[in-house]
Amino acid sequence: MEYLEKILDALKNLTRKVIDAVFGPEAEPELELIPIPVRDRNFR
């Protein structure tokens, strides 16, 4: 059973490499900046 899992993982990795080679790598989502509130000490 473990042998079959290794074969399936190898096939999955191979297909992912082929798809990346043909269509390009998966687009990574752009990181959104999280606004951090800053208390201005000069402003009263």
Give me the tens of pLDDT residue by residue for the chain, a chain 44 residues long: 799 999 999 999 999 899 888 887 666 777 888 888 887 776 55
Round to the nearest angstrom and report the end-to-end CA distance of the chain. Answer: 70
d(CA 44, CA 40): 8
Task: Give the per-residue pLDDT at 26.
Answer: 66
DSSP the chain: -HHHHHHHHHHHHHHHHHHHHHH-SPPPPPPPPPP-----TT--
Cβ-contact 30, 24 below 8 angstroms: no
| % of the chain residues with pLDDT over 70 | 86
